[in-house]
């Protein structure tokens, strides 16, 4: 039975899940009883304790993509309404409750966290995942953070790690992060600081105190100041949201500076490739890939106290629609976490 389809067999184990019933508003997410999955072969059954609501979840729910990608998603998930993919949620933390007969990496009782990629599925009490997959990553979570904090690490952390590694940040360099208060930006600020960089964080006024608290050396309110016209230059500019002026960012880079495009349009990709060929400045292309080794690296950094996820608000599973509305308001600072309280199976 596909995930998210209502179970009519009361004898089978069931679970609570927030099911994506149609494309559109947050109210399209409905709490339902669905069949509880059973691990097979190399799979593990994870009892989910926390998930998150990200901008990516909201975009998927609304199908806010280019026309071609929107059609591709409908062809995969369901033309008129979601059918093949009915439970959203890209990242989670929880405990391994059971393992398939061929599972070797994890054992019952392991506390894990992970990113699910395009497969989604975290808005539920349980999920079955293969131990090894190109579609998702799963690792033992660090022991010095809570389950809720662990759920807020994978997507933002893996993206921040991927892009900042392309810049090869050195101690003493000046790094600017635009859109610094989101799930990616808050980890990026801390990663850059861990390399000894001087970090300027750009976001709106209500988020600046939080950015200072996680180590930003300087903060800029983009509603009052355009960093691309200030005359300051940086060794690395990481435009997480992809909204800063491209030419302005080029002017704001040092001679051999690096411009990281976290959310690039096609036109920015093309301009970036041209700049990389014509000047000493670099505009690396590509999108973040999720690798188990990188998630393990993030766990080590957390265990060492070098990074820590920022949790803004927490909502119970049954209030995910409200969590989506809050994320879409643009006021989110760091991460919005969904807590999963388990009833009787």
- pLDDT tens digits, residue range 277-336? 888 889 887 788 889 999 999 999 999 999 999 999 999 999 999 999 999 999 999 999
What is the per-residue pLDDT for 1?
Answer: 45
pLDDT tens profile 183-233: 999 999 999 999 999 999 999 999 999 999 999 999 999 999 999 999 999
Q: What is the pLDDT, as a whole number, of residue 72?
A: 93
Report the topology of domain 156-278.
Rossmann fold (3.40.50)
- Token code pair at residue 345: 């199976």
**Residue 136 parent element (H or E):** none
Residue 9 has pLDDT above 70, yes or no: no
Cβ-contact 31, 24 below 8 angstroms? no
So what's the pLDDT on residue 117? 86
* pLDDT tens, position by position, 232-267: 999 999 999 888 999 999 999 999 999 999 877 777
Cβ atoms of residues 137 and 161 within 8 Å: no
- CATH 3.90.180.10 occupies which residues in the chain? 14-153+310-339
| pLDDT surpasses 50 at 121 | yes
As a whole number of angstroms, the distance between CA 162 and CA 30 comes to 34
To the nearest whole number, what is the mean pLDDT of the chain?
A: 92
Residue 345: is its pLDDT beyond 50? Answer: no
> Would the pLDDT of 2 be above 80?
no
Q: How far apart are the C-alpha atoms of 113 and 115, rounded to whole Å? A: 7
Is the sign of the CA dihedral 141, 146, 152, 156 positive or negative? Answer: negative
Q: Over the stretch 14-45, which tens digit does the pLDDT of each residue have?
A: 999 999 999 999 999 999 999 999 999 999 99
Give mean pLDDT, residues 85-113.
96
Categorize the per-residue pLDDT at 343 as very low, low, confident or very high, splitting at 50, 70 and 90: low
pLDDT grade for 8, boundaries at 50, 70 and 90: low
Closest by alpha carbon to 77, among 69, 85, 68, 89? Answer: 85
The pLDDT value recorded for residue 278 is 81
- State yes or no: pLDDT of 344 exceeds 80: no
Start and end residues for every CATH 3.40.50.720 domain found in the chain = 156-278
Assess contact for 128 and 119: CB atoms under 8 A: no
| More confident position, 272 or 332 | 332
**Secondary-structure class of domain 14-153+310-339 per CATH:** alpha beta
Average pLDDT over residues 69-95: 94
* Percentage above 90 pLDDT, the chain: 80
Please choose, from the candidates 92, 108, 90, 93, the residue with its C-alpha nearest in 3D space to the C-alpha of residue 44.
108
Q: Which residue has the tokens 């997507």?
A: 155
| pTM of the full structure | 0.91
Return all residues near 274 (Cβ < 8 A) that are at least 6 apart.
Answer: none
């Amino acid at each position: 039975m596909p995930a998210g389809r209502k179970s009519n067999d009361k004898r089978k184990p069931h679970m609570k899940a927030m099911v994506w019933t149609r494309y559109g508003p947050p109210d399209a997410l409905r709490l339902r009883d669905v069949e509880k999955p059973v691990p097979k072969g190399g799979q593990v059954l994870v009892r989910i304790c926390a998930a998150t609501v990200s901008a990516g979840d909201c975009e998927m729910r609304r199908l806010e993509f280019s026309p071609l990608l929107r059609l591709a998603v409908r062809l995969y998930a369901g033309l008129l309404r979601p059918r093949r993919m009915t439970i959203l949620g890209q990242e989670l933390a929880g405990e391994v409750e059971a393992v398939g007969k061929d599972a070797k990496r994890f054992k019952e009782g392991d506390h894990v966290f992970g990113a699910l990629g395009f497969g989604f599925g975290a808005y539920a009490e349980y999920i079955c995942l293969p131990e090894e997959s190109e579609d998702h990553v799963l690792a033992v979570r660090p022991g010095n953070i809570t389950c809720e904090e662990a759920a807020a690490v994978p997507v933002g952390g893996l993206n921040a790690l991927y892009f900042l590694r392309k810049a090869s940040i050195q101690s003493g360099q000046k790094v600017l992060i635009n859109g610094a208060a989101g799930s990616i930006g808050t980890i990026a600020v801390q990663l850059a600081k861990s390399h000894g960089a001087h970090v300027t964080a750009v976001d709106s006024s209500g988020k600046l105190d939080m950015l200072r608290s996680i180590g930003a050396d300087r903060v800029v309110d983009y509603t009052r100041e355009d960093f691309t016209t200030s005359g300051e230059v940086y060794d690395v500019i990481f435009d997480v949201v992809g909204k800063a002026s491209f030419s302005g960012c080029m002017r704001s880079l040092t001679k051999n500076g690096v411009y990281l495009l976290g959310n690039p349009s096609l036109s920015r990709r093309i301009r970036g490739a041209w700049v990389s060929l014509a000047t000493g400045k670099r505009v690396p292309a590509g999108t973040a890939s999720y690798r188990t080794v990188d998630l393990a690296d993030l766990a080590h950094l957390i265990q060492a106290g070098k990074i820590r996820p920022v949790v803004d608000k927490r909502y119970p599973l049954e209030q995910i629609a409200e969590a989506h509305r809050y994320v879409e308001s643009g006021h989110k600072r760091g991460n919005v976490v969904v807590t999963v309280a388990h009833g009787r199976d």
